[in-house]
């Protein structure tokens, strides 16, 4: 069986249009499983309107659980907790608990125990274009990197079971642990940037981060006509580092209107995207599966 290839779309800076680009690719990608790895703020489903088929809880690190019936009110847990996670009545403030388990070790009566606590949910859904795997982290919870890794594992399982040849991943913004989890082991990474100073700055940062993973890298410049100078600076950076600029998408009011109507831009503005060379990008991602 041929290796299932993973392509991740990231941005460094938030708001560059990463998810809009991902959504615009999806209708043209056959033989593909889709994954939304922006687990802190997933929004790919807004445009795809998936029908949820499976849902499961995702458990993060163990956290302390208090049993009032066993408590002798000695106060050891309150004294030794360094994270302010124990109230005066010795109950646990779960979001503040770091799972160090010191309260369990110092409690003489066994009133404190460590238990797995759900920190988010994993989903498998069907869209008009294929299966999508996605997740949502409970606000304020950590372990986003682990949840992203599980989304990718689930997407790989779906691809193997259904005989798909590729996984297209909408990655999170930034350069943090969730982005690292998104790109680790991926075959190719597309960086969507914009011609602003922060866009260029974060492009450089995220490129430096992904270098150690050695994927194939290419760039899409979205809203490319916002600044001719910064767009040229991005192209110069790409040339210096032998990164192909695969596509430049100028700002277009009709795309904003399409997104406001929950329409996929590449379907709402077919001629515009065709004239940009959209099919060349599809061929690059999946050369044998052009619709």
Is the domain of 76 the same as that of 185? no
CA 272 – CA 247 distance, rounded (Å): 13
Is position 62 within any domain?
no
pLDDT at 157: 97
Beta bridge partners of 113: 65
Q: Collect the ranges in the chain with pLDDT lower than 50.
A: 289-291
Find the DSSP H helices in the chain: 18-25, 44-48, 76-80, 102-106, 144-162, 177-183, 197-210, 228-240, 253-260, 265-268, 270-276, 278-285
Task: Give yes or no: residues 271 and 169 share one domain.
Answer: yes
Residue 221 covered by a domain: yes
Same domain, yes or no: 81 and 211: no
Backbone phi and psi for residue 18, each to the nearest 5 degrees, phi listed first:
-55, -50
142 lies in the same domain as 181 = yes
Q: What is the pLDDT of residue 58?
A: 96
The verdict on residue 192 lying in a domain is yes
Kind plus residue range of the DSSP H or E element containing 118: strand 112-127
pLDDT number for residue 1? 59
* Residue 242 and residue 151 share a domain: yes
150 and 214 co-located in one domain: yes
Does 153 lie in the same domain as 96? no
Residue 290 within any structural domain of the chain: no
In a domain, 61, yes or no: no
Tally the domains of the chain: 2
Bridge partners (DSSP) listed for residue 220? 192, 247
| pLDDT value for 264 | 96
Q: Check whether residue 144 and residue 262 sit in a common domain.
A: yes
Range(s) of the domain holding residue 179: 5-55+120-285
CB half-sphere exposure, 233, CA atoms < 13 A: 16
126 and 73 within one domain: no
pLDDT of residue 288: 52
Together in a domain, 72 and 216: no
**pLDDT given for residue 290 in this prediction:** 42
The predicted-structure confidence for 189-239, as pLDDT tens digits, reads as follows 999 999 999 999 999 999 999 999 999 999 999 999 999 999 999 999 999
Q: Is the domain of 144 the same as that of 184?
A: yes
Please give the Cα distance from 222 to 212 (Å, whole number). 25
Say whether both 84 and 224 belong to one domain: no
Contacts 24+ apart (CB under 8 A), 101-106: 101/62, 101/64, 102/77, 103/64, 103/76, 103/77, 104/64, 106/76, 106/77, 106/79, 106/80
Domain assignment of residue 12, yes or no: yes
Domain containing residue 156: CATH number: 3.40.50.300
Quick check: is 179 in a domain? Answer: yes
* 291: in domain: no
């Amino acid at each position: 069986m041929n290796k299932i290839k993973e392509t991740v779309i990231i941005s460094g800076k938030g708001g560059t249009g990463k998810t809009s680009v991902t959504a615009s690719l999806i209708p043209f990608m056959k033989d593909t499983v889709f994954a939304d790895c922006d687990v802190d703020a997933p929004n790919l489903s807004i445009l795809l309107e998936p029908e949820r088929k499976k849902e499961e809880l995702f458990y993060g690190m163990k956290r302390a659980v208090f049993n009032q019936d066993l408590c002798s009110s000695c106060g050891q847990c309150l004294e030794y907790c360094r994270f302010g996670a124990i109230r005066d009545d010795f109950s646990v403030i779960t979001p503040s608990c770091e799972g160090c388990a010191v309260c369990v070790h110092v409690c003489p009566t066994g009133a404190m125990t460590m238990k797995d606590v759900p920190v988010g949910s994993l989903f498998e859904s069907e869209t008009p274009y294929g299966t999508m795997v996605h997740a949502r982290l409970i606000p304020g919870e950590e372990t986003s990197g682990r949840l992203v890794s599980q989304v990718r594992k689930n997407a790989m399982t779906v691809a193997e079971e259904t005989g798909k040849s590729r996984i297209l991943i909408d990655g999170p913004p930034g350069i943090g642990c969730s982005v690292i989890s998104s790109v680790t082991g991926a075959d190719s990474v597309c960086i969507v940037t914009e011609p602003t100073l922060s866009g260029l700055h974060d492009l450089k940062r995220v490129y430096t981060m992904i270098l150690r993973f050695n994927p194939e890298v290419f760039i899409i410049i979205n809203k490319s006509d916002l600044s001719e100078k910064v767009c040229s600076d991005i192209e110069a950076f790409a040339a210096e580092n032998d990164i192909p600029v695969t596509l430049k998408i100028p700002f277009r009011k009709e795309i904003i209107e399409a997104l406001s109507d929950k329409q996929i831009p590449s379907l709402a503005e077919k001629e515009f995207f065709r004239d940009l060379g959209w099919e060349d990008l599809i061929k690059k991602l999946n050369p044998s599966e052009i619709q």
